[in-house]
Structure 1
Amino acid sequence: MKSKILPPESLDELMQRAQEMAGLTLGQLAELHHVAVPSNLKRDKGWIGQLIELELGATAGSKPEQDFLHLGVELKTIPVDESGKPLETTYVTVAPLMNINGLRWQESLVYHKLQRVLWIPVEGIRHKPIGERRIGSPILWTPSEEEMAQIRQDWEEIMELIALGKVEQITARHGEVLQLRPKGANSRALTQSIAQDGQVKLTNPRGFYLKIPFTQQILSRYF
């Protein structure tokens, strides 16, 4: 997908674009951009997010920065069921597994990415053809002090375990609102991490994800 739409110049312009998109189906939006709709998302997992990035003029692509860096906004599409409940956890960013000595919360990508998030709910009902799924109303969310404190606490506990070489022992149950999970196209993808004896070992890449009850709490506050 190639972006032809210029990035929005202001927050108001970004929100206007997002509101104009609400109510359209993914098929209608794809048609506007002359993009083919995949028959399933198994091989095109990021397709919905890329289509919405295209429409809104997001700039980051796969770079480790906010999607609208000049506005300080991260874009997250979130699949929801008929009642508006999120259907899956939300990927935030890849987790650093090496050279983390002295890394502080305020310097972390999790902190940076979650300063302000534009949530775009999209119908994710499995039995509904992708082209017929509707895009919902946008939500611009700035975490409250309490929410940021929850995320920070989970991040610090998880990073401490990584620093101690215990990355293999971290499960998706760790963390109240933020979790660490393997992140990679397949289980053969490997990256370096810290071993318990302080040496370097190979493990699957990991990513930070927001848990469903937390994102549900955000969405239900607005809907």
Structure 2
Amino acid sequence: MSSRLARPAFAAVRRTAPRAATRSYAAPAAQSQDTKPPVALFGLDGTYANALYVAAVKTNNLDSAAKAVSSLSSVLKADPKLSTILAAPTLSDSDKSQIVAELEKHTGGADKSGTVKNLLAALAENNRLGLLEGVTDKFTTLIGAARGELELTITSATKLEPKLLQRLETAVAKSEYSQGKKLKTVTKVNPEILGGLVLEVGERTIDLSVQSKIHKLNKLLTDSV
């Protein structure tokens, strides 16, 4: 993969310290307030998400980048096998070039500035395409925070009925957890929790699952023996 595809905004991601990397591709001090990501992210995928956010803000293309990333995220979630392919350690430079070209087709034509294209090229060049789904998820978190939204993730053992989902959203919106922000709801189905719900509001987790109750009961029984 040609190094020219990895633009300066993403070049510093190669470094090992995420905070140092973020500073290295941020705007000058006078603009740092505008380009600084609205929430702290961690992990290498968070570092790439931060880089994309900074690059999009500096080029005044945040909305278009958000649309492009949303399209990519939908593709990745629709085909779980794709993430496995992206993470394959045996991908050649030719394979990665073809994958990036194919992924670019799924940005919905929103990436006119090429910001997301640069991200894909940097991931490919650094053998990090397997991080793409995590990057898109964390970039979506940044976009929500920038728009004053608060993500509410509801995990259930089976798909929730619309009326129950609406009641949960209303209850959380009225609670102290919402902080008065507009909720953006994401629902997930995980049969392993056995029943009940797991609510994640921002950085807070409320585990009301049957699985959690069983774990607590087992611990209680073990400790009492």
TM-score by structure 2 length? 0.26
Q: Which has the larger radius of gyration?
A: 2
**Greater share of helix:** 2
**Greater share of strand:** 1
